[in-house]
């Protein structure tokens, strides 16, 4: 569980120390994981977290469309993908992890006060979408590419 938490912290903060500690933890337990029976599954989940980049869908908006986009994003959430919903007032640098702070507040849609959803993975984000169907297509495409 500690390795999972460390990988997630790295995904949100980009601080390399979290990823390094997660890697050391996984290496330390690699030889002994088989001794833990069913509880070794947590080790496997941590290894997947470590090897698959964390993705997140950021929904920005205050209206019904934002609620629909968030529900659509949450439907595709799994242990390597999360959904985050922000109001337009919350979509500012101070409220975002470094990996999103340079992108989300500067999106034309956000600056215009227009509801949107953005799929981000690692240090890059796809162009914003403004429709639930577009978001579903984007998430399906990412799933098949993985």
Q: How far apart are CA 94 and CA 101, in angstroms?
A: 7
Question: Are 44 and 78 contained in the same domain?
Answer: no
Q: What is the DSSP letter of 128?
A: P
Question: Are 30 and 85 contained in the same domain?
Answer: no
For the chain, how many structural domains are there in total? 2
- 38-47, 101-110, 128-137: which range is least confident on average? 38-47
Condensed to tens digits (0 to 9), the pLDDT of residues 27-62 reads 988 888 778 888 788 888 888 888 887 788 999 999
Question: Are 120 and 84 contained in the same domain?
Answer: yes
Residue percentage of the chain with pLDDT more than 70: 96
Q: Tokens for 87?
A: 């109001």
Question: Are 12 and 82 contained in the same domain?
Answer: no
Question: Are 59 and 130 contained in the same domain?
Answer: yes
Mean pLDDT across the stretch 70-80?
83
Which pTM does this prediction carry? 0.76
CATH of the domain at 81: 3.40.30
Condensed to tens digits (0 to 9), the pLDDT of residues 5-24 reads 898 888 777 788 999 999 99
Tell how strand 55-60 and strand 81-86 pair up.
parallel
Question: Are 41 and 67 contained in the same domain?
Answer: no
63 pLDDT higher than 80: yes
Question: Are 46 and 76 contained in the same domain?
Answer: no
Question: Are 65 and 23 contained in the same domain?
Answer: no
Question: Are 95 and 44 contained in the same domain?
Answer: no
Predicted confidence at residue 115, as pLDDT, reads 97
Q: Which domain holds residue 28?
A: 2-51
Question: Are 33 and 73 contained in the same domain?
Answer: no
Question: Are 35 and 59 contained in the same domain?
Answer: no
Question: Are 120 and 68 contained in the same domain?
Answer: yes
């Amino acid at each position: 569980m500690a390795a999972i938490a460390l990988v997630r912290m790295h995904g949100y903060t980009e601080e390399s120390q979290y990823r390094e500690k997660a890697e050391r933890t996984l290496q330390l337990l690699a030889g002994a994981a088989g001794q833990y029976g069913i509880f070794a599954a947590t080790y496997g989940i941590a290894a997947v977290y470590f090897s698959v980049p964390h993705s997140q869908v950021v929904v920005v908006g205050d209206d019904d469309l934002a609620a629909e986009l968030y529900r659509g994003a949450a439907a595709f959430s799994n242990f390597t993908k999360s959904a985050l919903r922000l109001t337009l007032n919350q979509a500012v640098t101070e409220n975002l992890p470094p990996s999103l702070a340079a992108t989300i507040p500067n999106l034309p849609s956000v600056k215009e006060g227009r509801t949107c959803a953005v799929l981000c993975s690692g240090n890059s984000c796809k162009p914003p979408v403004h429709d639930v169907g577009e978001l579903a297509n984007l998430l399906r495409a990412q799933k098949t590419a993985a």
